[in-house]
C-alpha cells in the first residue's frame, strides 16, 4: 500500500488548495472528508492526475500514513476540532502528530496541546493566512504548539509556504497556542488595515467626490510606493469592476460588514492583558456600527451634521490622506506588536518579532513592503518596546504628522466618520505625553472608593490614601490592577 507523507481532514476550499500545493511540492497526501462523496469529487476533479490518495474513513486515512503519522485538520474551529481529535485518537500511537490548521482560539490550542501531550500525541496549532490563493500557491504559515513536532513538519510547511527573497514565510512561533495567537493578531491587524483603507476611500469619495476611475488611479499610484501591499492592490482593482449596467459594482454593495470573530478575540485579549489596542478595537466596532443599517438609515433623517463642504487643493488633500493612512498603519502595527510582547511575557512564550514580520511579508492578506521595515527594526533592536521608538518609524511619523492632523481635523469639520484615523492620532498623542490626566482619575478613585494612589514624588510601589472629604477615615480598599 502506498504510504502518504501527511493526511488532511476537511476538503473545503482551503483544505483542497493546501493538498494540491503539497502535491506540487512532491508530497503524497491522503485526504478524508466527513461527507465522503466530497473525497470522490475531489479525486475526480481538481486532484485528478495527482498522487493524492482518497480515504472514506478516518481509520483508512491514518492507516496509509508514514510514521510518525502527521494528520492535519482543516475544519471549522471550536467543537468540530475537538470531535475529530477524539475520533482520530483510537488510530494514533505515541509520537504521532495532530495539526490544527484552522482559525482556532489560542486558548483552545493551549488546552488541546496539554491534554494530548498527556496521551503521548504531539499537537500543533498552525495559523495559515492567504486565503484560497495563498493556500494554493504559497501561504503564510505560523506553527506553534508542542516543539517536538516541528522537525517532522518543518520541511513540508516551509516548502509550501510563500517565499520572500528566498526565505520561507513560515517558522516556528512558540509553545502551545503561540501560532494561533500570532494568527489572531494578524487577523486583528487585517481588520485595522481594511478599515483604514475604507476610511481613506470614504474621504476621497465623500469629501473630494472622486469618480471610479480617479479612485482607481489614486490607489494604483499608492500601491507603487511605501503603501505597496496586497490590500491596496486589490482595492484599486475593485474600482475597475462594473456591474452589468456599466456602473461601479462597489457602489451597489450593501454597507454592512461581516466578521468571523478573530478581530473581536484580539480586542478581548488586549483588554485581558491591559493593552491599548485602540485602532483594532475601533475597526471591530466600525463593523458593528455598520451592522445597524436600519437604525442608521432612520437616524440619517433626524440627526444632522455640519453643513460644510471641502474647500482647498484636492491634490494636497489626497496627499494628506495618504500620509494619514501610512501614519495610522504605523500605529496599528505598533499596537499589534506591543500586544504580542505583552502576551509573550504573560504566557511565557519566546516570540521572534522580526521572524513574525517576515512570516507576514508574503503569502498573507496583510503582506506589504511595510513589513520589511518592521523586520529591519527588530533586527536592529530585538528588545524594541515600540515601533514608534525605531528611527525609521519615528522619522516617518514626524514628516507625515501635519497631513495626518489635517485629515483628522477636516473629517471632523465635514462630519465624515473616520474612527481609526482619529483613534490612531489620539494614541500617538497619548503615547508621546509624559504626564497624562490619570492623576486626577486616581484622586477620584481614591475619593469615592479609597482605592489608593501612588505619588510622582515618591518611589513607585508605595500606595497612599487621603481622607478627601474629612469624613472618610483612614481605611483604604485593597490595591489591584485590572
The residue from 183, 264, 329, 373 that is catalytic is 183
Q: Is 287 annotated as a binding residue?
A: yes
Whether 124 and 97 have beta carbons less than 8 Å apart is answered as: yes
Grid cell in block for residue 392 = 525609521
Q: Distance of alpha carbon 39 from its chain centroid, rounded?
A: 32
- CA 361/CA 368 separation, integer angstroms: 6
The residue from 38, 86, 190, 413 that is catalytic is 190
Q: Is 10 annotated as a binding residue?
A: yes
Question: How many other CB atoms are there within 10 angstroms of residue 187's CB atom?
Answer: 25
- CA 105/CA 100 separation, integer angstroms: 11
Q: Is 451 annotated as a binding residue?
A: yes
Please confirm whether the linkage preceding 340 is cis (ω < 30° from 0). no
Q: Is 458 annotated as a binding residue?
A: no
Q: Is 433 annotated as a binding residue?
A: no
- CA 276/CA 97 separation, integer angstroms: 37
Q: Is 424 annotated as a binding residue?
A: no
Q: Distance of alpha carbon 112 from its chain centroid, rounded?
A: 22
Whether 18 and 46 have beta carbons less than 8 Å apart is answered as: no
Q: Is 186 annotated as a binding residue?
A: yes
Q: Is 211 annotated as a binding residue?
A: no
Q: Is 103 annotated as a binding residue?
A: yes
Q: Return the bridge partners of 124, or none.
A: 99, 145
Active site residue 79: no
Q: Is 432 annotated as a binding residue?
A: no
Q: Is 223 annotated as a binding residue?
A: no
How far, in Å, are 75, 98, 123 from residue 81 at the CA level? Answer: 7, 11, 12
Q: Is 107 annotated as a binding residue?
A: no
CB-neighbour burial class of residue 447 (10 A; exposed 0-12, middle 13-18, buried 19+) = middle
Q: Is 1 annotated as a binding residue?
A: no
Q: Is 296 annotated as a binding residue?
A: no
Q: Is 75 annotated as a binding residue?
A: yes
Cα-Cα-Cα-Cα dihedral of 99, 100, 105, 109, to 10°? -30
Active site residue 399: no
Q: Is 141 left (phi over 0), alpha (psi -120 to 50) or beta?
A: beta
Q: Is 472 annotated as a binding residue?
A: no
Which secondary structure element, helix H or strand E, spans residue 473, and what is its range? none
Q: Is 187 annotated as a binding residue?
A: yes
Q: What is the DSSP letter of 165?
A: T
User: Which of 176, 184, 189, 193 minimizes the C-alpha distance to 233?
Assistant: 193
Q: Is 459 annotated as a binding residue?
A: no
Active site residues: 183, 190
Binding residues for NADP(+): 10-15, 33-35, 75-77, 103
Binding residues for substrate: 103, 129-131, 186-187, 191, 260, 287, 445, 451
Binding residues: 10-15, 33-35, 75-77, 103, 129-131, 186-187, 191, 260, 287, 445, 451
Amino acid at each position: 500500500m502506498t504510504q502518504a507523507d501527511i493526511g488532511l481532514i476537511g476538503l473545503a476550499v482551503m483544505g483542497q488548495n493546501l493538498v494540491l500545493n503539497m502535491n506540487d511540492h512532491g508530497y503524497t497526501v491522503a485526504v478524508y472528508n466527513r461527507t465522503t462523496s466530497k473525497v470522490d469529487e475531489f479525486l475526480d476533479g481538481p486532484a485528478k492526475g495527482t498522487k493524492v490518495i482518497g480515504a472514506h474513513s478516518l481509520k483508512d486515512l491514518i492507516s496509509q500514513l508514514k510514521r510518525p503519522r502527521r494528520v492535519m485538520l482543516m475544519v471549522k474551529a471550536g467543537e468540530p476540532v475537538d470531535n475529530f481529535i477524539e475520533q482520530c485518537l483510537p488510530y494514533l500511537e505515541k509520537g504521532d502528530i495532530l495539526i490544527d490548521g484552522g482559525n482556532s482560539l489560542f486558548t483552545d490550542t493551549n488546552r488541546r496541546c496539554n491534554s494530548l501531550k498527556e496521551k503521548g500525541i504531539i499537537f500543533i496549532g498552525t495559523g495559515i493566512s492567504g486565503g484560497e490563493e495563498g493556500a494554493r500557491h504559497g501561504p503564510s504559515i505560523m506553527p506553534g504548539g508542542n516543539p517536538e513536532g516541528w522537525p517532522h513538519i518543518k520541511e513540508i510547511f516551509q516548502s509550501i509556504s510563500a517565499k520572500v527573497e528566498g526565505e520561507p514565510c513560515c517558522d516556528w512561533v512558540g509553545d502551545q497556542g503561540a501560532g494561533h495567537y500570532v494568527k489572531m493578531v494578524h487577523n486583528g491587524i487585517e481588520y485595522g488595515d481594511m478599515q483604514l483603507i475604507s476610511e481613506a476611500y470614504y474621504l476621497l469619495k465623500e469629501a473630494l467626490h472622486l469618480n471610479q476611475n480617479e479612485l482607481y488611479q489614486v490607489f494604483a499610484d499608492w500601491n507603487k510606493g511605501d503603501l505597496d501591499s496586497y490590500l491596496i492592490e486589490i482595492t484599486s482593482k475593485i474600482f475597475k469592476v462594473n456591474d452589468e449596467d456599466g456602473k461601479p459594482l462597489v457602489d451597489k454593495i450593501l454597507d454592512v460588514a461581516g466578521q468571523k470573530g478573530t478581530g473581536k478575540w484580539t480586542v478581548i485579549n488586549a483588554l485581558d492583558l491591559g493593552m491599548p489596542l485602540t485602532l483594532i478595537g475601533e475597526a471591530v466596532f466600525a463593523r458593528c456600527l455598520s451592522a445597524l443599517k436600519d437604525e442608521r438609515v432612520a437616524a440619517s433623517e433626524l440627526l444632522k451634521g455640519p453643513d460644510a463642504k471641502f474647500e482647498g487643493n484636492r491634490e494636497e488633500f489626497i496627499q494628506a490622506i495618504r500620509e494619514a493612512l501610512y501614519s495610522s498603519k504605523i500605529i496599528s502595527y505598533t499596537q499589534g506588536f506591543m500586544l504580542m510582547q505583552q502576551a509573550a511575557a504573560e504566557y511565557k512564550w519566546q516570540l521572534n518579532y522580526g521572524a513574525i514580520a517576515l512570516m507576514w511579508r508574503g503569502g498573507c492578506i496583510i503582506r506589504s513592503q511595510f513589513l520589511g521595515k518592521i523586520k529591519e527594526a527588530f533586527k536592529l533592536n530585538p528588545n524594541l518596546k515600540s515601533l514608534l521608538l525605531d528611527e525609521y518609524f519615528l522619522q516617518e511619523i514626524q514628516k507625515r504628522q501635519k497631513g495626518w492632523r489635517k485629515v483628522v481635523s477636516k473629517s471632523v469639520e465635514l462630519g465624515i466618520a473616520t474612527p481609526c484615523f482619529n483613534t490612531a492620532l489620539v494614541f500617538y498623542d497619548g503615547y508621546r505625553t509624559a504626564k497624562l490626566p490619570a492623576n486626577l482619575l486616581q484622586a477620584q478613585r481614591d475619593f469615592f472608593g479609597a482605592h489608593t494612589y501612588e505619588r510622582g514624588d515618591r518611589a513607585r510601589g508605595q500606595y497612599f490614601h487621603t481622607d478627601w472629604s474629612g469624613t472618610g477615615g483612614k481605611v483604604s480598599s485593597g490595591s489591584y490592577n485590572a
